[in-house]
Amino acid sequence: MKTPIEVPPGATAEFVLPVTAEVTVKHFHPEMPAVLGTPFLIYAMEVAASDAMRRFLPEGWVSVGAEVNVRHLAATPLGGSVTARATAVSVSGTFVSFTVEARDAGGLVGEGTHVRGAVELERFLRRLGRQGEAPRPG
């Protein structure tokens, strides 16, 4: 069942991510510097967007990432932190579009857009359980 989601434009949330060794590029590629990896920058932005829409979801619903378009503009070193901020821009059915940005002590380190879809958790889990039963299209 598709239910329209009512997240008002301008709804925002922030998420702070400390740059620990586990989220650096060096953790996965020892020859690289100990700076925040792009996947973790995106993760922080996704968490901020999820938090921005959570209070508007019907009981039993959660949000899942559907689209990400992010530019990683500057490095954040080990020991620093980034604050990701997501702001709802529009809603289309069960999808919410956000602008996202992340800043550290030096300023802007990332920006872009993110779309999240609202899903009924029980239905999502049922479908997840059937993944091995049928091939996916494409």
Single pTM value for the model: 0.90
Tell me the Ramachandran region of residue 24: left when phi exceeds 0, alpha when psi lies from -120 to 50, beta otherwise.
Answer: beta
Number of H helices, E strands in the chain: 3, 5
- The reported pLDDT for the residue numbered 63 is 96
CA distances from 34 to 20, 23, 24, 26 (A): 9, 9, 5, 5
pLDDT under 50 in the chain at which residues? none
- The reported pLDDT for the residue numbered 129 is 83
- The reported pLDDT for the residue numbered 69 is 99
- The reported pLDDT for the residue numbered 5 is 82
CA separation for the pair 120, 61 (Å, rounded)? 4
CATH topology of domain 11-127: Thiol Ester Dehydrase; Chain A (3.10.129)
Q: Please report, for the chain, the start and end positions of each structural domain, with discontinuous segments joined by +.
A: 11-127
Which three-class secondary structure state does DSSP give residue 66?
A: strand
